[in-house]
Amino acid sequence: MAEIRVALGQRSYPVLVQQGLARRIPEVLERVAPSKRYFVFADGNVWSHYFDIIPSKDPRYVTFAVPPGEGSKSIETLYSFWTFLLQNGVERGHVAVAIGGGVVGDAAGFAAATVLRGIRLVQVPTSLLAQVDASIGGKTGINHPLGKNLIGAFYQPVAVIIDPAFLRTLPESEFQSGMYEVIKYALIEKNGLYERLMDFAWSRTSDMTAVIELCAQCKAHVVAGDEMEAERRMILNFGHTVGHAIEAAGGFKQLKHGQAVGWGILFAARLSRAMGICDRLTEDAIGRLLYRNGALPKLSYPPAMLVELMRHDKKVRDGRFTFVLPKRIGEVVIRKGIEEDWVQRQLEEFYREVGG
Ligand code: GLY
């Protein structure tokens, strides 16, 4: 079993990756987070396939089936999590276990961070997106109508348990969405992932263990170096400045997170070339890599609307935008203070080029 350490002093924790690990969850929990009670928050769809991974007759486990979908990253769902925890006698020494994709991990993680001022949290990500990104690094929270992830806390889990076998029952569209985050990792650092993706079958039936491990290693060391995103961790937002605005423009329903990030990466590559940071060859190589993951859905939101939504992003200071821009394959730079009007003009040109 691969054990990747997120090195944060006394709050360090392991990311465990192995095929079939889900079948050993009770044993792994005993080791990484011994407790008299486990509050399991499981995505309803995942639960219908995998309800037997938690011992149903063991009174130490109490389970909440979370309605699937981004709608669960809401204040109403969070409130129902708090009520569930309190009604079932939660104590400081107990453990919350989040089984599902980024939605469950983020919302249940925030419930764990806030109930009784914090109980231990174990992440069991089941979507590709959560396995390679959302479950590692301690970002928890919910959405607000004004934007994604605007309410939340940095709250590190005590362990992350990843079983690539979960991906076998993941819908193909969710797999494709997660692969855009994988592409992000291949482009932000030289870690062997870009070369691996050149020979990749781009199918959820592929063995994803090595790919997940490479992403987790990259995430673990970026987070260890800058837990609270003072600077370097921002590179993980590559593709997300415009990506979050695209998601918000569609009410978090029209495009999947990964697809929005895919557009965001393409636009960042275009901005980068316009600013003379990367050359045309790099921009084209990024476009080709994204294309291998399938076509992106057409964009129909006016550039002015995206710019307005970007103003609510956490990355905005004094009306100026911060972008993570590719320099070459495996290297990005953080550029702050980019003028809003200029970004809007670039978006308008980008739309003309890609036929949006
Ligand atoms: N998903 C970006 C980060 O965790 O910082």
Q: What is the pLDDT of residue 201?
A: 87
Of 141, 170, 199, the residue at which a domain comes to its end is 170
Q: What is the pLDDT of residue 104?
A: 98
Ligand 1 centre and the CA of 216: distance in Å? 12
Ligand 1 centre and the CA of 237: distance in Å? 6
pLDDT in tens, 210-244: 999 999 999 999 999 999 999 999 999 999 999 98
Q: What is the pLDDT of residue 72?
A: 95
pLDDT in tens, 116-175: 999 999 999 999 999 999 999 999 999 988 777 889 999 999 999 999 999 999 999 999
- The backbone torsions φ and ψ at residue 100, rounded to the nearest 5 degrees and listed phi first, read 155, -160
Cα–Cα distance list, 309 to 92, 245, 247, 270, 296 (Å): 39, 5, 10, 20, 21
Nearest to 305 by CA among 261, 351, 265: 351
Of 102, 137, 170, the residue at which a domain comes to its end is 170
Residues 153 and 193 in one domain: no
pLDDT in tens, 14-27: 999 999 999 999 99
pLDDT-derived band at 314, boundaries 50, 70, 90: low
pLDDT in tens, 271-305: 999 999 999 999 999 999 999 999 999 998 999 99
Residue 216 sits in a domain whose CATH number is 1.20.1090.10
- Pull the structure tokens for residue 206: 């592929």
Residues 162 and 206 in one domain: no
- The backbone torsions φ and ψ at residue 72, rounded to the nearest 5 degrees and listed phi first, read -80, -10
Percentage above 90 pLDDT, the chain: 87
Q: What is the pLDDT of residue 86?
A: 98
Which residue has the CA at smallest separation from atom 2 of ligand 1? 236
Residues 145 and 184 in one domain: no
CB distance 298 to 311 below 8 Å: no
Beta strands in the chain (DSSP E): 2-6, 13-17, 38-43, 61-66, 95-100, 120-125, 139-144, 147-154, 159-162, 320-328, 331-339
Residues 346 and 311 in one domain: yes
Residues 34 and 160 in one domain: yes
Residues 182 and 156 in one domain: no
Residue 129 sits in a domain whose CATH number is 3.40.50.1970
Residues 239 and 183 in one domain: yes
Residues 205 and 349 in one domain: yes
Q: To test the ligand 1 pocket, which listed residue (129, 139, 261, 314) has its Cβ within 8 A of the most ligand atoms? A: 139
Of 109, 138, 170, the residue at which a domain comes to its end is 170
- The backbone torsions φ and ψ at residue 71, rounded to the nearest 5 degrees and listed phi first, read -55, -20
Mean pLDDT of 47-66: 95
Count of structural domains within the chain: 2
Q: Which residues of 292-312 are buried (b: 16+ CB within 10 A; e: fewer)?
A: ebeebeebebebeebbebbeb
Task: Give the structural domain span for 265.
Answer: 178-354
Q: What is the pLDDT of residue 356?
A: 60
109 lines ligand 1 (CB under 6 A): no
Residues 158 and 183 in one domain: no
Q: To test the ligand 1 pocket, which listed residue (135, 233, 244, 332) has its Cβ within 8 A of the most ligand atoms? A: 233
Q: To test the ligand 1 pocket, which listed residue (180, 236, 238, 257) has its Cβ within 8 A of the most ligand atoms? A: 236
Cα–Cα distance list, 292 to 112, 180, 286 (Å): 38, 10, 10
pLDDT in tens, 169-207: 999 999 999 999 999 999 999 999 999 999 898 888 889
Residues 165 and 252 in one domain: no
Ligand 1 centre and the CA of 240: distance in Å? 10
Nearest to 46 by CA among 136, 119, 125, 162: 125
Q: Is 70 helix (H, G, I), strand (E, B) or coil?
A: helix
Which residue has the CA at smallest separation from atom 4 of ligand 1? 137
Residues 251 and 335 in one domain: yes
Residues 93 and 17 in one domain: yes
How far is 293 from 35, CA to CA, in rounded Å? 42
Q: In the predicted model, is pLDDT for residue 313 greater than 80? A: no
Ligand 1 centre and the CA of 165: distance in Å? 23
pTM above 0.85, yes or no: yes
Handedness of CA 270, 276, 279, 285 (dihedral sign): negative
Atom of ligand 1 nearest to the CA of 134: 1
Nearest to 172 by CA among 203, 147, 149, 144: 203
Q: In the predicted model, is pLDDT for residue 315 greater than 70? A: no
